[in-house]
Structure 1
Amino acid sequence: ATGEGKKAAIAQGVEEARGSWVILTDADARCGPGRVRGIMAAQAEHGWDLILGPVETRAGRGFLQSVQADEQAALLGVAAGTALQGHAVLANGANLAFRKAAFLEVGGYAGDGWAGGDDLFLLKRMRKAGLRIGYLLDKAVLVAVDAEPSIRGFGQQRLRWAGKMRGVSGPGAWLGAAGMALPWFILAVSCSVTLDGLMAYRPMAVVLLLSAAWLLWLLPVVSLAGAVRRFLHAAGSGVRMRLAGPSTAVSLVLFSVYAPVIAVLSLFVRPRWKGRRI
């Protein structure tokens, strides 16, 4: 590309593309031979302008990679679920396809000064323009990437991702913020309960209410990640199903700790990506 950065490369590729559709992935991503055929069949059937696809984060044997796989399985479920309900809020540039005319109609990335976030900003523009957005939850179009092997890489990647969440707006952004705040609110309420205060009221009722609050926070995410794991397992990936529930629960607790910290840090820290500050 003659310009600098991923967005400039994509924009130039779109301008020079001879076909009517552009399919994106990342250099470190892997997919099967039927991906392009599956995407084109879906757009012919549904008439979508933007197609979002599933991306699996594959873990090695380390705990850090396992946490990333659980985290991304849950986010994949959120991306697929919201899109299939007609309210897409998340996209992954490693598995994305769009109609060339639709990209040009919304102005591509014109006026967007951020180095990252090509996927979310494009989703936001197409959604605002009222274009047709679909999610293709099909094992034939699945793309896989490897989890970050180091703490440093893990932190840099999440700072970058937190920065591009500027592309999420509306109810989706507020729901995401509420989701991060919920466990801390439940924790604050739980810690405010003293033994004397508990015994002064109905102790069993209070304990049951607090337990129910924690379970209502935990179980939907574990269930969602479990459904995604079953999809990935059926797609022939090497995802491990044994002890998936406890693993996801541990990862969710850790996510609830580091996600707010990273969200705040992203307001002040601009990580390096591909040799550039974003």
Structure 2
Amino acid sequence: MTVSLLWWIVGGVCTLYGLGMAALAYGRMRSARALPDRALPNRLSVVVPARNEADAIPHCLDALQNQTLPAHTTLEIIVVDDQSNDATFVRAQRGLRTAVVAGGDEAADPVHQVHTLPDAWGAGKEAAVAYGAEQATGTVVLVLDADCVPSPSWAATLARACTAETPVVCGPVRYDVDAERWIERFQALEFLGLNAYGAGTAGLGWPTICNGGNMAVHRSLIAALPDEQIAAHLAADELLLQHVAYRTDDSVRYVWHETACVTTTPASSWTAFWQQRKRWAHATRSYHAVPWLCTLGIFVVHAVLLGVCLVGATDPDALSQPAVTGLLAKMGADLLLLLPASHTVGHRDLMRSYIPASLLQLGYVVGAGLHGVFGAIHWKGRTVD
């Protein structure tokens, strides 16, 4: 491979990537636009699917029961225990101040509910969310993972944006990291990029991804879905987002506001991180054409630059300069999206890990992408289809 050809490849890829990142940065800014001053419904529901989250769920439920809402709005909390092997059910029951416990005694004010997912509904997050949505009575049904802690105005922020015309609304998720652990700083930076990418594409009118642990769905959309599609769509986060955006006349909204943010913890090990990202890559096989092409473009850029670096390593004197230039150009383009986004989620301090994280990202994106699409996926003791 000649040096001039390598320069042409690097120049073309980095130019397109830079333009794409600039467009995404603009789209993310659009996702941060002000919310309408709309009155909240009288009743909101939050479905919390939980599997083996005994340690995390008390913090989640405490934050939910301290949401800032107008006096006329009631927040109904529905926990669905997805056949956990730990004390998730018991701690959820204790964590809710007033609840109806499935198969147990009713509290004086049964605003909240704790259920074990019935065998007839199957297993998995999709089934747990669908079952919880069937129990819900709110005009807006919010979905929150049991290991997430929402901001005090989270429910009100998402619900104000969620209407019959915009029936799917999502918000950012941030990692609460230990600054001394590099694995957590890396995950937080990478996750920030994914969130900002989702907000950017939604702001441009081409929604791609979101996080099902921070989502609001309008009751009208749930009622319109055929019974056999509720489980498949409702907990499939980006698949529901894409279904509404590309197969209906309705719109979706990504609310890039600090008040719409929820906080969770990163994977505890590199193995857990790898399994999680493979699972996310696995979901791309069901994407709509537009998000699939966007995802493929991101993958190709990383694969090409990784290949250029490997080629450059074979003859450093002649070929290293295009490789280094390509890496620097990509890192500069990524900063267009990451730097402004980091202000919203409070992760500006993570930028000191940016250079090594960017280098590691090349290999991980290619490896996790290929393994996720073509390999076997396991999550929380189950095989993912």
Tell me the TM-score normalised to structure 1 length.
Answer: 0.82
2:200 aligns to what? 81
Partner of 1:250: 356
Per-residue deviation, 1:145: 0.8
CA spacing shift, 1:185–1:40, aligned 2, 3 Å:
closer
Alignment partner, residue 274 of structure 1: 380
Aligned pair 1:166/2:285, yes or no?
yes
The one-letter amino acid paired with 2:293 is W
User: Residues 131 and 188 of structure 1: is their aligned pair in 2 closer, same or farther, counting only changes over 3 Å?
Assistant: same
For residue 42 of structure 1, the aligned residue among 156, 161, 166 is: 161
State whether residues 158 and 215 of structure 2, in contact with CA within 8 Å, keep that contact through their aligned partners in structure 1: no
Unaligned 5+ segments in structure 1 are 199-205, 234-238
> Which of 41, 47, 54 is the matching residue for 2:172?
54
Shift of the 227–276 alpha-carbon distance from structure 1 to 2, 3 Å rule, reads same
Measured after TM superposition, the shift of residue 58 of structure 1 is 2.3
Separation (CA, whole Å) in 1 of partners of 2:132 and 2:182: 38
What is the deviation of 1:112?
A: 7.2
Q: Is residue 227 of structure 1 aligned with residue 340 of structure 2? A: yes
Shift of the 108–256 alpha-carbon distance from structure 1 to 2, 3 Å rule, reads: farther
| Aligned-partner Cα distance in 1 for 2:360–2:332 | 15
Q: Secondary structure at the match of 1:171?
A: helix
Q: Which amino acid aligns with 1:77?
A: A
How does 1:147-162 map onto structure 2 within 5 Å?
147-162=266-281
User: How far does the alpha carbon of each residue in 1:128-182 deviate from its partner, in whole angstroms, 9 at most, with x for none?
Assistant: 2232201111111210111112122112211211112224332332232222222
**Are the counterparts in 1 of residues 303 and 366 from structure 2 also a CA contact under 8 Å?**
no
Partner of 1:7: 126
Q: Which residue is equivalent to 1:96?
A: 215
Identity of aligned residues (%): 23
Matched, 1:134 2:290: no
Contact 1:20 1:100 in 2 (8 A): yes
SS of 1:24's partner is strand
Matched letter for residue 229 of structure 1:
S
Q: 1:133 to 1:26 in 2, by over 3 A?
A: same
- What is residue 243 of structure 2 aligned with on the other side? 125
Tell me by how many angstroms 1:101 deviates: 1.6
Aligned residues: 261
Contact 2:130/2:230 (CA < 8 Å) preserved in 1? no
The amino acid of 1:53's aligned partner reads G
Partner of 2:331: 218
Give the deviation of 1:221 after TM superposition. Answer: 1.1
Matched, 1:63 2:182: yes
The answer for the alignment partner of 1:143 in structure 2 is 262
Q: 1:186 to 1:261 in 2, by over 3 A?
A: closer
| Distance of 2:156 and 2:230 partners within structure 1 | 33
Checking the alignment, whether the CA contact within 8 Å between 1:162 and 1:262 is kept in structure 2 is yes
Range with bigger deviation, 27-36 or 173-182:
173-182
Contact 1:106 1:126 in 2 (8 A): no
Residue 28 and residue 261 in structure 1: after superposition, are their counterparts in 2 closer, same or farther (change >3 A)?
Answer: same
Q: Which has the higher contact order (CA 8 A, sep 6+)?
A: 1
CA distance in 2, matches of 1:177, 1:63: 28
Give the 3-state SS of the residue equivalent to 1:225 in structure 2.
helix
User: Counterparts of 2:227 and 2:255 in 1: how far apart (Å)?
Assistant: 22
Unmatched segments (≥5 aa) in structure 2: 1-116
Match of 1:176, SS state, is: helix
Letter in 1 for 2:130: A
Within 1, Cα distance between the matches of 2:151 and 2:273?
A: 26
How far off is 1:104 after superposition?
Answer: 3.2
2:264 partner SS: strand
For 2:332 and 2:220, how far apart are their aligned partners in 1? 42
Instruction: State the partner residue of 2:368.
Output: 262
- If the length of structure 2 is used for normalisation, what is the TM-score? 0.61
Moved more, 211-220 or 11-20: 211-220
Structure 1 contact 180–256 (Cα < 8 Å) conserved = no
Distance 1:269 1:150 in 2: 20
One-letter amino acid of the structure 2 residue matched with residue 140 of structure 1: T
- Deviation, 1:273, is 2.0
The DSSP-based 3-state class of the residue aligned with 1:266 is: helix
Quick one: distance in 2 between partners of 1:149 and 1:276? 18
Amino acid in structure 2 at the alignment position of 1:145: T
